[in-house]
Chains A and B, each alone.
Chain A
Amino acid sequence: MTKPTLSRTIFWTTIAFLFLPLVVLMVFSFNEGRTMVWKGFSLKWYESLFGNQPRLWAAVVNTLIVAFTASTVATLIGTLGAIAINWYRFKAKSYVQALSFLPLILPEIIIGVSLLVFFRMLGMELNLFTIILAHISFTIPFVLLMVMARLGEFDYSIIEAARDLGANENQTLLKVILPISVPGILAGFITAFTLSLEDFVVTFFVTGSGSDTLPIYIYNQIKRKLPPEINAFSVVLIGATVFLLFFARRSIKYFVKT
């Protein structure tokens, strides 16, 4: 079997390309100077980051609030919906199936525009609440995907068996369906959470002043000037993300084992 040398070169070059910006950020977060000229090692930007950037951290707090709230609600709605689509018959089924997965194929800008127009039409004020509503909306399809993937591994006869043995609808849901769905539910929650943290475009449309999330804040900063604290912050964020995801992966593994 011939070794794929050309593709190997392309692959590793691509990996370098993908990691390059991050490495640059990390290196220059320790830079003494303000610009991208190396002036010496320094932790001053980290100090400034943690001491001197209230608006940045306010944005972080907003982002977290939105992410937690939106993912929780999306997971609730999505999990129940996934169970219904996968294993039950109901009137609006084909409608729900078709519509639910639509956001996956649409560019985010369409979702942003439609929600903004909608909120405006209702006369709603744009703030964290509208952001949360928007985030729930575009993360639900992902929760559906994750939970349905998990449910698809099991045969419907399990539900029939539960009913056969005396369980009513409630008991079937709580004692059989939900326990076996846990890995999917978790995956859905984490996916929703991640997407919410990341989101720029949709948030950009439905945000009001004073309710900046992190991506919006950074965007505004880029447009005006580039404070070096952003470098340090990027590194902190990368570190936090890696840590969280590592932690999440271990918890998922734990749940999947049981």
Chain B
Amino acid sequence: MKSRSGTLYSLPLTVWISLFFLVPMAIVLLYSFLARETGGGVRWVFDLGAYAEIFKQTADGRFIYLDIVWYTLLMAVGATLLTILIALPCAYYIARAKNNTLLLFLVIIPFWVNFMIRIYAWVAILGQSGILNESLLALGILKDPIQFLFNDTAVLVVLVYTNLPFAILPLFTTIEKFDFGLLEAARDLGASHTRSLWSVLLPNIRGGIITAVLFTFIPIFGTFAVPDVMGNSNVFMLGQLITSKLKFTGDYPMASSLSVLILILSGVGLVVYTLYNNNQAKQRHVVIEEDTL
């Protein structure tokens, strides 16, 4: 059926995403290969300096930028791990419960509150004059307030806090599809509760776990707001580095090259995810084919 409606309806979308996704990202890619203009901006000269700069070393052998990238990686891995470790039992519990819509709601409600306000709340809790300190002082456990803020732990806590629902939801969706009768079968065959969870449940929710990991790790890797507020300058992650380069130093090429780094990472994640999904689909297809023979 020939129809030009398809082109017509898709036109605004095509134009918009080309103009506001494709072009800007192409520019970023382009800028990463240009030279820096003093005072901000770029000089239209091909220059790999922005990438070389990433590997820059100080006199005493420290890789200033690679250190940041490495640190960000560690923090992201740590935060993701913690998030998934908490999210798994939560999702499992919700999936097994009778009123799972209500429980899901409970998980999601705090997220209706504005992102910034939630971060602010943690400042109010962990700050020098925050409630944690005030309570500990009042209880006599502390003599002077401790600075709970502006360190790795504070950032980790809030990273986990803000990413939990993004991990719980996909995990819940996958676990819900799982046939819990399999666990009973495993128990029947002699496995302990823990063993049945480990050997039967986990392998079957691999897809959900991978989704949860991807949708947690990649945003955390590029996070800016949380380390900036909760960590100030004591915690310095890739997102803050890029922001600093872009907004304060005006070093467009380097901000771009670092962004490309994140882009590559996201791309790798996407490829892994797609390959996994295609693999799963292929396996199912083989089974179906065998059946019909």
Q: Do A and B bind each other?
A: yes
Residues of A at the B interface (CB closer than 8 Å) are: 1-2, 4, 6-8, 10-11, 14-15, 17-22, 24-25, 28, 35-37, 76-78, 80-81, 83-85, 87-93, 95-96, 99-100, 102-103, 105-110, 113-118, 120-121, 133-134, 136-137, 140, 144, 160, 163, 169, 173, 194, 197-201, 204-205, 214-215, 218-219, 222-223, 226, 230-231, 234, 237-238, 241-242, 245
B259 close to A110 (CB less than 8 A) = yes
Given contacts A113-B256, A114-B259, 15 further A-B contacts (CB under 8 A): A4-B93, A15-B106, A21-B121, A24-B124, A24-B131, A25-B121, A36-B131, A37-B138, A89-B6, A99-B18, A107-B266, A108-B224, A109-B262, A114-B28, A234-B117
Q: A107 vs B224: C-alpha distance in the bound complex, in angstroms? A: 10
B223 close to A118 (CB less than 8 A) = no
The number of residue pairs between A and B whose CB atoms lie closer than 8 Å in the complex comes to 262
A115 close to B92 (CB less than 8 A) = no
The dominant DSSP class at the A interface is: helix
B164 close to A18 (CB less than 8 A) = yes
Q: A19 vs B103: C-alpha distance in the bound complex, in angstroms? A: 13
A81 close to B20 (CB less than 8 A) = no
B164 close to A96 (CB less than 8 A) = no
Interface size for B (C-beta < 8 A) is 87
Question: What chain B residues lie within 8 Å of A107 (beta carbons)?
Answer: 218-219, 221-223, 239, 262, 266
B7 close to A91 (CB less than 8 A) = yes
Q: List 29 A-B contacts (CB under 8 A).
A: A7-B93, A11-B90, A14-B86, A25-B117, A25-B120, A36-B127, A36-B130, A81-B10, A81-B13, A88-B6, A90-B7, A92-B10, A99-B17, A109-B243, A110-B25, A113-B255, A114-B21, A114-B28, A117-B31, A121-B27, A144-B13, A194-B112, A197-B114, A199-B115, A204-B225, A204-B243, A205-B246, A230-B117, A234-B114
The dominant DSSP class at the B interface is: helix
Instruction: Enumerate the 6 nearest inter-chain pairs by beta-carbon distance, A residue then B residue, closest first.
Output: A107-B222, A88-B6, A81-B13, A21-B121, A90-B6, A114-B24
Q: A108 vs B223: C-alpha distance in the bound complex, in angstroms? A: 8
With A80-B9, A113-B242 as contacts: A10 and B89 at CB distance below 8 Å: yes
Complex partner residue of A106 from B130, B184, B193, B263, CB under 8 angstroms: B263
Q: A134 vs B112: C-alpha distance in the bound complex, in angstroms? A: 21
The chain B residue with its CB closest to the CB of A89 is B6
Q: A164 vs B132: C-alpha distance in the bound complex, in angstroms? A: 69
The chain B residue with its CB closest to the CB of A12 is B93
How distant is A128 from chain B, measured CB to nearest CB, in Å? Answer: 16
Question: What chain B residues lie within 8 Å of A25 (beta carbons)?
Answer: 117, 120-121, 124
Q: A63 vs B259: C-alpha distance in the bound complex, in angstroms? A: 27
Q: A44 vs B31: C-alpha distance in the bound complex, in angstroms? A: 52
A118 close to B27 (CB less than 8 A) = yes
Complex partner residue of A169 from B3, B25, B112, B120, CB under 8 angstroms: B3
Question: What chain A residues lie within 8 Å of B182 (beta carbons)?
Answer: none
Q: A136 vs B133: C-alpha distance in the bound complex, in angstroms? A: 42
**Residues of B147-190 contacting chain A, CB below 8 A:** 161, 164, 180, 184, 187
